[in-house]
Amino acid sequence: MLSDRRQRVLSALIEEYVARALPVGSRTLVERYKLGVSPATVRNELSVLEDAGYIIQPHTSAGRIPTDVGYRAFVDDLLESGLATGQLPHSDTIEELKKSASELDDLIERTSVALTRLTDCLSIVLAPSVLALHIRQISLVSLTRHRALIVLVTEDGQVLNRSIDFADPVESDDLAAVQNLLNDVFAGKSITEVRDRIDLEAAEALNDPLVRIVLDEVMYCLQESDTGRAHRIGVSTLLKQPEFSHSQTLLPIMQILEDDAVLLHVFDDAAADSGPLVRIGRENNDEALSGVSVVATQYGRGDAAGVVAVIGPTRMDYSKVIQAVRLAQSVLQDGSR
């Protein structure tokens, strides 16, 4: 546990390093920050912080830079003191999205873009699993006697569609009967609930060959949509950061983050945490993410929940990023109802 004075010195050093990406010396801290102590005291506190592992001196003649341990102490102080709250500049950019977005997918995409602009980092928004969402309506649109279009609308406004081909001709009246049956079974329920609660009468009707064909296509439609849940924006923004000025540095990180299954594992803890989860450098489980920090939180409820996250260098503006993630969470929470 750091004393108040050491916490102030550490915070000043981190703020300076975040702003300029250069090692910070005691003279800079004394001149630019009102620490209320003498230069000699600042030098002494920096030595103590270095010995304790909160900062390091990359070169003998250079100033100091924070370690993952130093960032952790800084972030914990932000969260405990409530400093990572308040109004962000241009935060109305995200607030306005609720009015302009036509459906959840659109809202998620626009929120990802706004998050990247606010934080200068990579933003990732995982949509809720459609397999857990309640279905509002299933429509079967006859295109020809051998082809139809399935349109699914979820309770949160997502619209999914898939074409279906029939080997034998299907009359529009038969298709309408199948549509009515599926709506009786699915409306207001998730796929998981339908699997568990289909009554005997519906189960018998679902054995009809045409119904089975359409039902299989409905399942394929949902499963296809569930594989594209991640909206990633800001790779080019990360490349502008000094830490990732060479694309080779960023490549291992992007290889990890391009895999939706890995992303779900990375954000597992976010779903169990009531507030923003902050993982710094080597706190991340995957070695490829040891050079970045992840700020993530859940939006929505239960199985129908998504995740909003910002990923950037450990030298990120944690206060601004945490505020931005909280704001995005609030917007997406409203949009997913």
Q: Do residues 321 and 256 share a domain?
A: yes
Pair of tokens at residue 161: 């569609």
Domain that holds residue 65: 4-81
pLDDT band of 99, cuts 50, 70, 90? low
Q: Do residues 182 and 207 share a domain?
A: yes
| Domain-ending residue, one of 17, 46, 81 | 81
Who contacts 206 (Cβ-Cβ below 8 Å, separation ≥6)? 181, 185, 198, 212, 215
Which of 320, 323, 326 lies closest to 15, judged by CA?
Answer: 320
Q: Do residues 217 and 68 share a domain?
A: no
Q: Do residues 213 and 273 share a domain?
A: no
Distances (CA, A) of 109 to 28, 103, 115, 123, 233: 41, 10, 10, 10, 8
149: how many CB neighbours lie within 10 A of its CB? Answer: 13
Whether residue 239 is contained in a domain is answered as yes
Q: Do residues 316 and 262 share a domain?
A: yes
Rounded CA-CA distance 276/81 in Å is 15
Rounded CA-CA distance 146/163 in Å is 11
Rounded CA-CA distance 308/331 in Å is 11
Tell me, what DSSP letter sits at residue 128?
Answer: P
| Domain-ending residue, one of 58, 81, 104 | 81
Q: What is the CATH number of the domain that holds 44?
A: 1.10.10.10
Whether residue 214 is contained in a domain is answered as yes
Whether residue 86 is contained in a domain is answered as no
Q: What is the CATH number of the domain that holds 144?
A: 3.30.390.60
Q: Do residues 251 and 120 share a domain?
A: yes
Q: Do residues 314 and 286 share a domain?
A: yes
pLDDT at 276: 87
Q: Is 186 exposed, middle or buried (0-12, 13-18, 19+ CB in 10 A)?
A: buried
pLDDT band of 14, cuts 50, 70, 90? very high
Q: Do residues 100 and 183 share a domain?
A: no
Pair of tokens at residue 70: 């130093």
Q: Do residues 199 and 318 share a domain?
A: no
pLDDT over 70 for what percent of the chain? 86
Q: Do residues 221 and 271 share a domain?
A: no
Rounded CA-CA distance 331/61 in Å is 47
Whether residue 87 is contained in a domain is answered as no
Which of 153, 105, 151 lies closest to 126, judged by CA?
Answer: 105
Q: Do residues 11 and 157 share a domain?
A: no
Q: What is the CATH number of the domain that holds 307?
A: 3.30.450.40
Q: Do residues 241 and 161 share a domain?
A: no
| Domain-ending residue, one of 226, 258, 286 | 226
Does this model's pTM top 0.75? My answer is yes
Rounded CA-CA distance 217/221 in Å is 6
Whether residue 294 is contained in a domain is answered as yes
Distances (CA, A) of 278 to 6, 219, 229, 295, 311: 22, 36, 22, 5, 10
Tell me, what DSSP letter sits at residue 244?
Answer: G
Domain count for the chain, please give it: 3
Per-residue pLDDT of 153-200, as tens digits, reads: 888 777 889 999 999 999 999 999 999 988 988 888 887 777 655 554
Whether residue 269 is contained in a domain is answered as yes
pLDDT at 203: 59
**pLDDT above 60 (res 258):** yes
HEC assignment per residue over 34-46: CCCCCHHHHHHHH
